[in-house]
Amino acid sequence: MCDTFIALGSATKNGKVIFGKNSDRPYSEKQTIDYFPRERYLNESKVKCTHISIPQVTETAAVILSQPFWIWGAEMGANEYGVVIGNEAIATKEPIKDMGLLGMDFVRLGLERGKTAKEALDVVIDLLEKYGQGGAHHQSGTNYHNSMIIADPQSAYIIEMAGDWWIVEIIKKFRSISNDISIRGKGDLRREGMIQHAIETGYCRDDDDFDFAVTFASSQPLPNYIEYSMRQLNENENEITPALMMELFRDHNGGICRHRSSDITAGSMVSHLNKEIGKSIHWFTGSMLTCLSLFKPYSFPIEGKRVLDAKIYSGINPKWFWVKHADFVKPFVRRPTKKNLDRDVYIKKVRSVEQDLITKVNNVISKENEIPLKSSNLCFISEP
């Protein structure tokens, strides 16, 4: 399972929007932190996504992404305008297409083409209706439908997709999503004809019987992961900071930081969003297991900083930071809730470095007339 959290300014300690996500993937699918600069394209250009090609736009925004190494899209990321998106796998009653755009492709396309959360949402909706969602999300061939949170410094949305159908919830205060459908009732926005389709397909009896989370949910019951994470956000309302969000993603009691042989938390992200362009901070681990990782801050502009080449990788490079970190923490991975003195020493050192980074970043962003942020004051680590 994955988890994506959002807290609007009315629920955070300093009135700024805070977003975060844990990405759970197979251990074999290492994640890289990649930067793609703003680009201009000729008319009638095409962009090759993970499985299909679609028309390219004339200009794309600069983006920073956390990507499974072989996929064109991303599990999570941010753009230069302060828009962030995180994706989740969900199961629905609708058939799954063999080919289409991946949920992760929608993440990157929304970030590259949307200057606000609403623009990014409209991009995702338009592309879903034109090309549908489909194709393998894992190298093993696993496929699924998608849910995502799309946010900027002023607003946030959840979109959940069942086949080519979609429904949207406008987030009012705070919210979390995981690997199950969560939008109740008829949502705030939805694709025209969705309720009639559900009636004709036999998912519900009539208009009054329609409840998206019930009507479109897979017949296989799923654990209610969202209930636990929503309780965490509720208990910390008005006290949420980037540092607290990081700790929520290290939680083991609710399985948010995932330690399993089949899949693990392969990367994490926390964003502190600011209305002024250039002052949002995006923290990425770029490594597996949030509890054993260090969040590192990124800020636009990123040009001139050390990042991985902007491309899809056919294989894994043993020199990647992700791989070196995984080898280093191997003795600490098992039984995360059991006492381990060596692990405790390691975690204490990592948290000390992280807290020092948080303090330094807070000092930088508190200064007036520091727009955009001087990227040299921040830490950029994608390669060793």
Residue 365 is predicted with a pLDDT of 76
Tell me whether residue 204 is one of the annotated catalytic residues: no
- Identify whether 226 is part of a domain: yes
pLDDT digits (tens, 9 = 90+) for 197-235: 999 999 999 999 999 999 999 865 555 778 899 999 999
Residue 233 is predicted with a pLDDT of 96
- Identify whether 195 is part of a domain: no
Distances (CA, A) of 270 to 5, 109, 167, 171, 223: 9, 20, 25, 18, 25
- Identify whether 204 is part of a domain: no
Residue 221 is predicted with a pLDDT of 52
Res. 240: pLDDT tops 50: yes
| Positive or negative: CA dihedral 163, 169, 174, 180 | negative
- Identify whether 202 is part of a domain: no
pLDDT digits (tens, 9 = 90+) for 56-71: 999 999 999 999 999 9
- Identify whether 64 is part of a domain: yes
Average pLDDT over the chain, rounded to an integer:
90
Domains held by the chain: number: 1
Of 2, 49, 257, 291, which is the active-site residue? Answer: 2
pLDDT digits (tens, 9 = 90+) for 125-136: 999 999 999 988
Domain span holding position 108: 3-190+218-377
Per cent of the chain over pLDDT 70 is 91
Residues 6 or more apart from 160 whose CB is under 8 A from it?
90, 146, 147, 166, 167, 168, 181, 182, 183, 212
Res. 380: pLDDT tops 50: no
Residue 211 exposed, middle or buried by CB count within 10 Å (0-12, 13-18, 19+): middle
- Identify whether 254 is part of a domain: yes
- Identify whether 203 is part of a domain: no
Biggest CA–CA distance in the chain, Å, is: 60
CATH classification at residue 359: 3.60.60.10
Least confident range of 49-58, 262-271, 340-349, 373-382: 373-382
- Identify whether 56 is part of a domain: yes
pLDDT digits (tens, 9 = 90+) for 74-129: 999 999 999 999 999 999 999 988 899 999 999 999 999 999 999 999 999 999 99
Residue 382 is predicted with a pLDDT of 42
